[in-house]
Amino acid sequence: MKILIIINALTIGGAERQAVTDANMLYERGHNVTVAFNKAGPLNKLLHPAIKRYKIRYKHMVLASLQLLWHLLIHKYHIIHAHMFWAEKISAIPAKLTQHKIVFNEHGLGLWRRWYHILMFKIISQFADKIINSCEATKRVRIERENIRKSKLLTIYNTFMLNMHGDIPDSMQFLNKDSREYFVIGYVGRFHKVKRLETFIELAEELKSVIKNFKIVLVGDGAQRVKLMQQIRDRRLESYFYMPGFIIASVELYRMFDVLVLPSAREACSVTLLEAEGAGIPVIAFNVGGNPEIIHDGYTGFIIPEKDVKYMAQRIIALYHNPQLRNMMSKCAKYFIKTKFSIEKRVTELERVYRSITQNACTICK
C-alpha cells in the first residue's frame, strides 16, 4: 500500500514522535511510505533511510494546500494519514479534489480551539473518511464539543518503539543508577505553559525537607525554559534541578529516572507516559484528559487529583522510601504497555482501517 503521512514538523512532541513511529513500522510491514512535513528537526534522523521525505515549503494554509494539491495530482497514494490540525487543514481539500482517501489523527484534546477553529474542523472533517483519536478522552471531546458524527470516529491508542535507543550526553552520566547518589524525578517534553512545569518548583519546596538527595531532571526545551530557570533561581533551588536540553527519548534516558512526573494541565494520550512505563519507570500525573486511561493507578503509577501538589509530593516520597513498590510498579508498567499499547497492535489496527476505506478506492489509486 502506498501511504502519505503528513505532520507539521519533525521536531519534539508526542504527536510528531508517533507519526515517525507509524512511518517506520508501516515501512517495515512492507508498505511504500512517504512523510510530508513543513519543518525539519531531530526526529528526521529517526526515520528509516528508505522512507521518502517530501518538504512542504509553505506554512500558510492556502499556499501549503496548493503545493500539496500539485503533489497529489502527480503522485497517487492509497491513503493519506494527516496528524494534527495543521496537516488536516492543508490536506482535506486537496485529497477531496484528487479523490484520495484520507484519515485524520487527533492527538490532543483540542480544548484550545476557539469557535472558528471548531467551525473549520467541522467543515474539513466532512472530507475525512475516518478520524482516529489517540484515546477515549479525545474522542469524547470530538463528540461533545465539536458534534462530529460518531460513525467517523474511532480510537487507536498512541504507542512507541519499545526497542528505542539513543545516546546519553556525557554530562548526564552522573545520573547513572550504578554510581549516583540521587533519587531522580524526571520529566521529558516541551517547555510549554500547558505542561505546568512550575509545579516542579512547588514539588522541590515540599520535598527538600524530607528527601535530601533528590534531583529533578527536566529534559526538553521550549519557550518557558528561561522563565522557569529564573523562577528556580529566585527560590534558590538550583541545586535540586538539572536541565540538559533536548535529548531524543530512549530507554537509556528513562532508566536514569526513579519516577517520571507529568504535571500537565491537559493531556490526551501522552507518548512520554507510554515511553516511561514501557521502560519500567513508575509515572505520576494529574487526573486530566487521557491520563487515567494510560496509568493503572496504584500499579503502574499514580493519578493525582488536579493541582494537588502536596499529594503528588506524598506519592513521590512513598516511592522514595519503598524500593519494593518501585520494583513492583516497574514490572506492572512494562506488562501493561506491552499488552495494551504495543506498536504491533496499533499498526495492525491502522492497516485494518486503511483497508476498510480503500476497498472502493478509484482504480487509478490502486
Kindly report, residue by residue over 28-79, the tens digit of the pLDDT: 999 999 999 999 998 888 899 999 999 999 999 999 999 999 999 999 999 9
Residue 220 and residue 360 in one domain: no
**168: its cell numbers:** 546519553
Tell whether 87 is covered by a domain: yes
Give the CA distances from residue 229 to residues 203, 222, 253, in Å, rounded to whole numbers and listed in that order: 15, 12, 22
CATH number at residue 152: 3.40.50.2000
Biggest CA-to-CA distance, the chain: 69
CB 191 within 8 A of CB 197: yes
Does any domain span residue 165? no
Does 289 share its domain with 333?
Answer: yes
Same domain, 59 and 152: yes
Residues in Cβ contact with 127 at an 8 Å cutoff, skipping those fewer than 6 apart: 92, 93, 95, 96, 102
- Type of residue numbered 55: K
User: pLDDT (tens digit, 9 = 90+) per residue, 255-288?
Assistant: 999 999 999 999 999 989 999 999 999 999 999 9
In-domain check, residue 349: yes
Is 318 in the same domain as 174?
A: yes
Q: Give the pLDDT confidence score for residue 365 in this predicted structure.
A: 44
256 with 335, same domain? yes
| 177 and 146 share one domain | no
Q: Spell out a b/e string for 97-110, using b for 16 or more CB atoms within 10 Å of the CB, else e.
A: ebebbbbbbbbbbb
Q: Give a yes or no: residue 113 inside a domain.
A: yes
Banded model confidence at residue 131, pLDDT cuts 50, 70, 90: very high
Residue 21 and residue 92 in one domain: yes
For residues 172 and 254, give the distance between their C-alpha atoms in angstroms, rounded to a whole number: 12
Report which secondary-structure segment, H or E, holds 36: strand 32-39
Residues 98, 241 within the same domain:
no
Count CB neighbours of 201 within 10 A. Answer: 19
Is it the case that residue 363 has pLDDT exceeding 70? no
- Structural domains counted in the chain: 2
The reply to whether 47 falls in a domain is yes
Whole-Å CA distances, 366 to 72, 75, 76, 96: 14, 12, 9, 16
164 part of a folded domain: no
- Are residues 250 and 220 in contact, defined by beta-carbon separation less than 8 angstroms? no
**CB-facing half-sphere around the CA of 185: CA atoms within 13 A:** 28
Q: Does residue 81 fall inside a structural domain?
A: yes
Instruction: Indicate whether 299 and 191 sit together in one domain.
Output: yes
Distance CA 299, CA 146 (A): 34
pLDDT tens, residue by residue, 292-310 = 999 999 999 999 999 999 9
Residue pointed to by grid coordinates 531531530 = 42
Average pLDDT score, the chain: 92
pLDDT of residue 163: 54
pLDDT over 70 at 359, yes or no = yes
Within 10 angstroms of residue 84's Cβ, the number of other Cβ atoms is 22
Q: Is the pLDDT of residue 166 over 90?
A: no
Mean pLDDT confidence for 176-196: 88
The reported pLDDT for the residue numbered 250 is 82
306 & 180 share domain: yes
Strand partners, 334: none
Please give the residue range of the domain that contains residue 42. 2-159+342-365
pLDDT for the residue numbered 249 = 78
Residue 22 lies in a domain: yes
Residues 6 and 22 in one domain: yes
DSSP letter at 219 equals E
In the predicted structure, residue 125 carries a pLDDT above the cut 50: yes
pTM: 0.85
Report the pLDDT value the prediction gives residue 162, as an integer from 0 to 100. Answer: 53
Q: Are residues 241 and 266 in the same domain?
A: yes
